[in-house]
């Protein structure tokens, strides 16, 4: 039991060490070049977490799907469609509209994967393409003229007791995800289905409903992230979710969630998000060219995945 526990915690420990290493390296660089240490400033860290909350919420939903051994590639345009539709509707109905878009997309994805048995990678990528076409048709290919509603601006930019509201929203979403995974039968069914769907079905778990539920949560999280990002940018725009797909997957996997499903803890995903946010922040401070950023970013991800892969082969 002790060996399995240490194997489960190892990715989280490694990710935490990478976070510390990034903080040390970034602080050393800023002290050497400017004589300051912004990475140790509470205000700067809160600002980074505020912008990282969009990725964190996307990763929270993505984790639910990956725990099943599936993938949700429709996140970019689910986020964009929810944001653009919400700003088009505007007023008090903007937020419900965004959530309704997320719910609809999640149901379509879940039904396609669970009932039609189409591989999630193919089906969700197709849904993403359909959403892209619908948004281009809605706007005629141009950026929409609608702006963020006051509620969107409040959720993304305002602060309560010095803490950005976006971080509080991320914390609320995290609390819901943790509660689902650790305190509900649905959460236990996700782990069981991800470990072996056939065995879970024979044990009485309604695996199809579990899959649909996980995809709905993923799409709802993407729509919430879209609302926040719209408020932060003051408007919705084409392709606003494109930058979140691979980082969301990377955060989940770097946090120790098994890409084939069945294993993973949310605290690992949380640390994975922080790792990616701080890494991007340090590279920006260093004014690293885009090519260099991609090389370093990819190297860190591949290195950690290799470490996890070796650990899984040794302990399996």
- Spatial separation of the C-alpha atoms in residues 11 and 261, rounded to whole Å: 15
| Helix and strand counts by DSSP (H, E) for the chain | 13, 2
Does 22 or 174 have the greater pLDDT score? 174
- Spatial separation of the C-alpha atoms in residues 84 and 74, rounded to whole Å: 15
Q: Are strands 159-160 and 163-164 parallel, antiparallel or unpaired?
A: antiparallel
Total structural domains within the chain: 1
Q: What is the pLDDT of residues 62-71, one digit of tens each?
A: 999 999 999 9
Whichever domain contains 306, its CATH number is 1.10.3470
Structure tokens at 227: 């609302």
Q: What is the pLDDT of residues 239-265, one digit of tens each?
A: 899 989 988 998 998 888 888 888 899
Structure tokens at 247: 């980082």
Does 45 or 309 have the greater pLDDT score? 45
What are the E-state strand segments in the chain?
Answer: 159-160, 163-164
Q: How confident is the model at residue 202 (pLDDT cuts 50, 70, 90)?
A: very high
How far apart are the two ends of the chain, measured CA to CA in Å?
Answer: 14
Nearest to 273 by CA among 13, 9, 75, 19: 19
Long-range CB contacts (within 8 A, 24+) of 37-40: 38/285, 39/278, 39/281, 39/282, 39/285
Q: What is the pLDDT of residues 98-126, one digit of tens each?
A: 999 999 999 999 999 999 999 999 999 99
Domain span at 170: 2-315
Task: Report pLDDT for 138.
Answer: 82
Structure tokens at 146: 């609608």
Structure tokens at 280: 């991007």
In this prediction the pTM is 0.91
């Amino acid at each position: 039991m002790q060996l399995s526990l240490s194997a489960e915690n190892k990715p989280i420990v490694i990710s935490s060490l990478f976070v510390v290493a990034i903080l040390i390296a970034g602080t050393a660089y800023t002290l050497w070049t400017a004589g300051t240490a912004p990475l140790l400033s509470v205000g700067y860290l809160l600002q980074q977490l505020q912008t990282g909350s969009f990725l964190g919420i996307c990763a929270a939903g993505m984790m639910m799907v990956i725990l099943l051994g599936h993938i949700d590639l429709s996140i970019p345009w689910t986020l964009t469609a929810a944001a653009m539709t919400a700003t088009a509707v505007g007023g008090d109905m903007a937020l419900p509209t965004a959530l309704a878009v997320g719910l609809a997309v999640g149901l379509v994805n879940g039904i396609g994967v669970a009932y039609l048995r189409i591989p999630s990678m193919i089906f969700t990528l197709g849904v993403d393409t359909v959403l892209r076409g619908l948004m281009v048709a809605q706007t005629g290919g141009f950026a929409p003229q609608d702006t963020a509603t006051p509620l969107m601006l409040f959720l993304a930019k305002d602060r309560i007791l010095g803490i950005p509201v976006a971080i509080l929203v991320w914390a609320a979403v995290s609390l819901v995800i943790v509660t689902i995974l650790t305190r509900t039968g649905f959460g236990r069914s996700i782990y069981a289905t991800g470990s072996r769907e056939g065995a879970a079905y024979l044990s009485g778990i309604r695996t199809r409903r579990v899959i649909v539920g996980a995809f709905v949560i993923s799409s709802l999280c993407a729509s919430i992230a879209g609302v926040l990002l719209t408020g932060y940018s003051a408007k919705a725009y084409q392709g606003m979710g494109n930058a979140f797909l691979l980082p969301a997957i990377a955060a989940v996997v770097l946090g120790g969630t098994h890409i084939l499903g069945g294993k993973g803890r949310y605290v690992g995903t949380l640390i994975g998000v922080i790792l990616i946010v701080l890494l991007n922040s340090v590279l920006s401070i260093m004014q690293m060219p885009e090519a260099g950023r991609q090389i370093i970013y990819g190297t860190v991800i591949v290195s950690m995945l290799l470490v996890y892969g070796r650990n899984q082969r040794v302990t399996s």
